[in-house]
Amino acid sequence: MQLDAKIPEGPIQDKWDSHKFNVKLVNPANKRKYEILVIGTGLAGASAAATLGELGYNVTVITYHDSPRRAHSIAAQGGINATKNYHGDGDSVFRLFYDTLKGGDYRSREANVYRLAEVSSDIIDQCTAQGIPFAREYGGLLDNRSFGGAQVSRTFYARGQTGQQLLLGAYQALARQIKLGKVKLYARTEMLDIVLHEGRAVGVITRDLVTGEIRAHSAHAVVLATGGYANAYFLSTMAMASNATAAWRAHRKGALFANASFTQIHPTAIPQSDDTQSKLTLMSESLRNDGRIWVPKKEGEERPPGQIPLDDRDYYLERKYPAFGNLVPRDVASRNAMTVVEEGRGVGSRKNGVYLDFAESIERLGKAVIEERYGNLFEMYERITDENPYEVPMRIYPAPHYTMGGLWVDYNLMTTIPGLYSIGEANFSDHGANRLGASALMQGLADGYFVLPYTISDYLAPLLGTQPVPTDHQVFAEATQDVHDRVDRLLSVNGGRTVDWFHRKLGKILETHVGMSRNELGLQKALREIPALREEYHNDVRVPGENESFNQSLEKAGRVEDFFELAELMALDALNRRESCGGHFREESQTPEGEALRNDDDYAYVAAWEFTGVGEVPNLIKEPLEFEYVALAQRSYK
């Protein structure tokens, strides 16, 4: 298979404009003759569904939540980047493009990233008009803050709840279309398979999570906006239900999966406190603006933080990276935290964290300012840890948080299956090997509001006059039967272990071998352990209850089954990439100072994998990355 990214010709600053002119259009009166399925209602899915509905298409949107508003985009705290340059500090489209490409360690496509930077500004306009209560200056203008990996203030925010507010904006736009009848919503409904006819995506099979009814839906095109797969690690900052099933089922049907090993371990989560923990809670990266990160200089320090004098503290980020200090990109901050903890200088009763200290900022700015900026985060921290961060430094530690990898898409955001699109975190497109803070919200909304609605017409226009494949067609019957069989199989194992038991074990393998630091031996070990555990899962999992009822164990069982297969690909992809880049740190490839060392000669490509069967080695198809506008350089934040 040859990959064609369909990147438009011309200078980078003209590509998107000329592409918008060159794509085929569907005239306004004809749009109502098309059916589009959107799976997922996070920022990308909700914004896409709302916009497609506004344009006149008939949209069906599917979410496993009880309401579109619950999607995990809601948990993003810090903000959203845009090139407004409202602060006059030298921001521009080219600078955001450059920062994003560099932050991603040169493993993303120039054209896609440039487009992202170009539309970022429109997102802020759109969201402001929707009534998102962004932070304001006293004169009524929008306020900005700075964020990791950038030297300008380009992050817009709504207290520590930016994701929530942006999602509610998209949800409300979606609600308006539902009321108008342009969008039909299926809540508490999970997509379990994708249906192909003559090589094209023509629909999906879903399970009603309340009644267990397995249903077929057909359409002219299908959009997957189903988020990332960091929950494969079990302990992550993802929501409990976040999963990879929709993307993985598409992969099994022929959509290539790219850069599976590119996972982001976020530096500022609350460290694990006990063994029954179900998730890790993130503390916004924005805290690094005013908090200083440090650990004791000596191993096994027992004094409480307040009694450790300045001379005995190691502000290791400020020491090693004077230019960016505490605001180095996430991967750098995470790896350094791991190193100091491994050196035995971790803090807290489990010695599994580093301090994020606000004492100096509180002294400099006053408690009121800090409270205004981060009050809700401090409160959340106190609820979870029972410690008051105004008085005692926070303890933080990295946690799996975001996945840059995902379904391979071309410039139109179409996967390798014609008619199947993937947007937001579910695709691989814009963040390379590491995502910068406040860029996930930007990408989700860029794809949903401003990219997909333009590019999808190119595929739809030639289909004018055709009807969606009817759901009584044989392809739907077969896919429905497959879903039934799979559900029955999971329910009939009746083994001795719970789904969570297996998930926790899988997570441990990934955390150990495919976590912040990876090496050949460990990855090979993971590639032996994962299939063995998967085999055990198929023979020994216990899923109580039945299909025809509200059965949360059954929901989890299917998701974890898919995580097993995906986990193997994550390890394989990491093994294949014998270089360090962004969040992917291969111990064999580092500079003398222990920084990530890229190998552009051999690995400046997107690794897209083709499914060949469970337990079979997938085919690797490379999309070479070419850089015309940015010179490849070793990232330096010193």
Partner 1 sequence: MNITLRVWRQDNPDAPGRFVEYDAPDIESHSSFLEMLDVVNERLTDQGEEPIAFDSDCREGICGMCGLMINGLAHGPQQGTATCQLHMRKFEDGDVITIEPWRAAGFPIIRDLVVDRSSFDRIIEAGGYITVPTGSAPDANLILVPKPAADAAMDAAACIGCGACVASCPNGAAQLFVAAKVANLNLLPQGQPERWTRVEAMVDEMERYFGSCTNHGECEAACPKRISLDFIAMMNRDYIKAKFKNRRLAGQRS
Q: Which is nearer to partner 1, 174 or 224 (CB)?
A: 174
Q: Which is nearer to partner 1, 189 or 259 (CB)?
A: 189
Measured from the CB of residue 146, what is the shortest distance to partner 1 in angstroms?
A: 18
Helical residues (DSSP H) of 341-433, grouped into ranges: 359-365, 367-385
Q: Which is nearer to partner 1, 53 or 393 (CB)?
A: 53
- Short-list 396, 395, 337, 347, CA closest to 516: 337
Two tokens, residue 410: 């071309």
Measured from the CB of residue 157, what is the shortest distance to partner 1 in angstroms?
A: 11
Spatial strand order of the sheet with 58-62 comes to 183-186, 58-62, 35-39, 221-224, 420-422
Please give the Cα distance from 599 to 438 (Å, whole number). Answer: 27
Please give the Cα distance from 429 to 343 (Å, whole number). Answer: 36
Q: Which is nearer to partner 1, 127 or 570 (CB)?
A: 127
Measured from the CB of residue 86, what is the shortest distance to partner 1 in angstroms?
A: 6
Measured from the CB of residue 544, what is the shortest distance to partner 1 in angstroms?
A: 5
Measured from the CB of residue 151, what is the shortest distance to partner 1 in angstroms?
A: 22
Q: Which is nearer to partner 1, 63 or 206 (CB)?
A: 63
Question: What is 462-480 written as a DSSP string?
Answer: GGTTPPPPPTTSHHHHHHH
Please give the Cα distance from 77 to 402 (Å, whole number). Answer: 14
Q: Which is nearer to partner 1, 11 or 140 (CB)?
A: 140
Q: Which is nearer to partner 1, 142 or 597 (CB)?
A: 142
Q: Which is nearer to partner 1, 287 or 332 (CB)?
A: 287
Q: If you ran DSSP here, which 8-state letter would residue 299 be given?
A: T
Q: Which is nearer to partner 1, 192 or 283 (CB)?
A: 283
Helices then strands, counting H and E runs in the chain, come out as 17, 20
Q: If you ran DSSP here, which 8-state letter would residue 272 be given?
A: P
Classify the C-alpha dihedral 433-421-176-189 as positive or negative.
negative
Q: Which is nearer to partner 1, 153 or 237 (CB)?
A: 237
Could you tell me the end-to-end alpha-carbon distance of the chain, in angstroms, rounded to an integer?
A: 42
Measured from the CB of residue 430, what is the shortest distance to partner 1 in angstroms?
A: 19
Measured from the CB of residue 239, what is the shortest distance to partner 1 in angstroms?
A: 4
- Short-list 38, 126, 24, 61, CA closest to 449: 126
Please give the Cα distance from 308 to 210 (Å, whole number). Answer: 55
Measured from the CB of residue 330, what is the shortest distance to partner 1 in angstroms?
A: 18
Residue 605 falls in which region: left (phi positive, over 0), alpha (psi -120 to 50) or beta = beta
Residue 383 CB neighbour total at 10 angstroms: 9
Measured from the CB of residue 463, what is the shortest distance to partner 1 in angstroms?
A: 23
Q: Which is nearer to partner 1, 4 or 66 (CB)?
A: 66
Please give the Cα distance from 397 to 271 (Å, whole number). Answer: 5
| Token pair 């999607």: residue | 71
Measured from the CB of residue 203, what is the shortest distance to partner 1 in angstroms?
A: 24
Measured from the CB of residue 454, what is the shortest distance to partner 1 in angstroms?
A: 10
Q: Which is nearer to partner 1, 135 or 597 (CB)?
A: 135
Measured from the CB of residue 246, what is the shortest distance to partner 1 in angstroms?
A: 16
Q: Which is nearer to partner 1, 128 or 519 (CB)?
A: 128
- Short-list 105, 85, 86, CA closest to 94: 85
Contact 597, 634 (CB under 8 A): yes
Please give the Cα distance from 134 to 123 (Å, whole number). Answer: 13
Measured from the CB of residue 391, what is the shortest distance to partner 1 in angstroms?
A: 19
Q: Which is nearer to partner 1, 175 or 530 (CB)?
A: 175
Q: Which is nearer to partner 1, 261 or 403 (CB)?
A: 403
Query: CB under 8 Å to 472, separation ≥6 — which residues?
Result: none
**Would you mind telling me the total number of residues written for the chain in this entry?**
638
Contacts of 301-308 with C-beta under 8 Å, sequence gap 24+, read 301/345, 301/347, 304/392, 305/347, 305/355, 305/357, 305/392, 305/393, 306/392
Measured from the CB of residue 390, what is the shortest distance to partner 1 in angstroms?
A: 17
Measured from the CB of residue 207, what is the shortest distance to partner 1 in angstroms?
A: 15
CA-to-CA separations, 605 to 259, 612, 625, in angstroms, rounded:
10, 21, 5
Two tokens, residue 210: 């309340």
Question: What is 24-55 written as a DSSP string?
Answer: ----TTTGGG-EEEEE--SHHHHHHHHHHHHH
